[in-house]
Structure 1
Amino acid sequence: MTRLKLYGTPLSGHVHRVTLLLRMLELEYEFIEAGAELRATEAFRKLNPWGQIPVLVDGETVIADSNAILIYLTKTYAPGTHWLPEDAVAAAHTQQWLCKAAGEIRYGPASARLIAQFGTPEDYPVAVKVAKKFMPQLELHLSQREFLVTDQPTVADLACYSYVALAPEGGISLEAFPAIRQWLLRIESLPGFIATPPLPLPKPAQ
């Protein structure tokens, strides 16, 4: 019986970052499709009162929030590895980029994608403004290094990867950012990498 269960949807970047770490740590897990109907159920609300995905269940342990799940998986199944540096400065910088994933990336490129592709009621001009400010900063940072924190990938790279890679789906071009594109390729070359599924084709007009 598989101990780990991941609740989510394949098109979610938040879910994707957790999927990447599970695969890169070679952990067996059961993926449970958690669409809007399931997330509205009392059973799911017991797992996460906010009704959000992803949610990881590990035996009796339940962890919600994608970045929290990344920390939990690394601390539990890959302690002392490059995924979560123990050095104080590197650990702080890893946390800094996890905050960027939850901040500028979530409310920049991720928000733009949610609006453009799924009709989420957020502010598209604001999302574009956030992205236009953040992406050059990320480009400058990556022009001087291969990964975000150390010379090896950390959970910060996985947390930031998904929605940056998917930025064009929200109308945010990566054409002007060669260092970012090279960083994306480095993540995609890691063992266990899997891409986010393509968006479904629009239904033909009746």
Structure 2
Amino acid sequence: MSGNCYKVRLMLSLLNLKYESRIVNGPEKEHKSSSFLEMNPFGQVPVLKDNDIVLRDSQAILVYLAKMYGGKDWFPEDSVKAADIVGWLSTSANEVSRGPSALRAHFILGRPINLEEAKSVTTSLLNVLEKKLSEFQWLVTNKVTIADIAIYPYIALAHQGNVSLLEYKSVREWMSRIEKLPGYVGMVGLTPSI
């Protein structure tokens, strides 16, 4: 159910990397067990183990996968483009988390949130995305990058937070472009955007 876990799984699939996924038992608090806390002291998923390397946080994992296995397109060497990508990764951890992700957690998991703030953050975020994507096909370069992968899941799952994307045509077209990428995989709750 985690959009953050999904973005890592999506990236692994887009890179055509073989991996083994392991579900962490949330209701039994497996993510708070001592063995899990050794991998991530914050007790959060996802965690990626690649040989002897153990990484936490979906944004950090996306950077690692892009740099290690993805070539220059996923995370360009150009300083300005790299900084722009990091800005979108921060947006994923901030506005996306406080907006559409929080609304989804509220409506499907019953998590208490400041509903008006989450709606306001979501509207502002969608307006920024719509403007950007009405001018460009992708968030940073003329190709998909990890910036797009970081933002996509909770936007694509916005309907689970009672958010309609009907008035955001450019956002829906961008989602459709992601969904047509070779290696794309979905997750429970995602429906084709166009």
> Does TM, scored on the shorter chain, surpass 0.5?
yes
CA contact (8 A) 2:157 2:189 kept: no
Equivalent position SS for 1:108: helix
Shift of 1:74: 1.4
Separation (CA, whole Å) in 2 of partners of 1:84 and 1:16: 19
Separation (CA, whole Å) in 2 of partners of 1:35 and 1:190: 31
Q: Give matches, 1:83-94, under 5 Å.
A: 83-94=74-85
Equivalent position SS for 1:150: coil
* Map of 2:163 onto structure 1: 172
Residue 113 of structure 1 aligns to which amino acid in structure 2?
R
* Map of 2:121 onto structure 1: 130
Residue 176 of structure 1 aligns to which amino acid in structure 2?
E
Shift of 1:40: 2.2
CA distances 1:162-199 after superposition (whole Å, capped 9, x unpaired): 00011111011101100000000000000111112139
Deviation above 4 Å: which 4+ runs of structure 1? none
Separation (CA, whole Å) in 1 of partners of 2:175 and 2:144: 11
Note if 1:78 corresponds to 2:70. Answer: yes
Shift of 1:123: 1.9
**Which structure shows the bigger proportion of residues in strand conformation?**
1
* Map of 2:23 onto structure 1: 33
Note if 1:148 corresponds to 2:120. Answer: no
**Which structure shows the bigger proportion of residues in helix conformation?**
2
Shift of 1:125: 1.8
Equivalent position SS for 2:20: strand
With the length of structure 1 as denominator, give the TM-score of the two structures.
0.88
Q: Percent identity?
A: 40
Residue 20 of structure 1 aligns to which amino acid in structure 2?
L
Note if 1:196 corresponds to 2:187. Answer: yes
Note if 1:17 corresponds to 2:2. Answer: no
With the length of structure 2 as denominator, give the TM-score of the two structures.
0.94
CA contact (8 A) 2:103 2:161 kept: yes
Shift of 1:32: 0.3
Separation (CA, whole Å) in 2 of partners of 1:123 and 1:30: 37
Shift of 1:137: 1.1
Residue 63 of structure 1 aligns to which amino acid in structure 2?
L
Q: How many residues align?
A: 188
* Map of 1:50 onto structure 2: 42
Residue 109 of structure 1 aligns to which amino acid in structure 2?
P
Shift of 1:14: 0.3
Unaligned runs of 5+ in 2: none
Equivalent position SS for 2:22: strand
Shift of 1:59: 1.4
Shift of 1:78: 2.2
Residue 18 of structure 2 aligns to which amino acid in structure 1?
E
* Map of 1:68 onto structure 2: 60
Shift of 1:126: 1.4
Return closer, same or farther for 1:138/1:72 CA change in 2, 3 Å cut-off. Answer: same
Structural RMSD (CA): 1.1
Unaligned runs of 5+ in 1: 1-10, 200-206
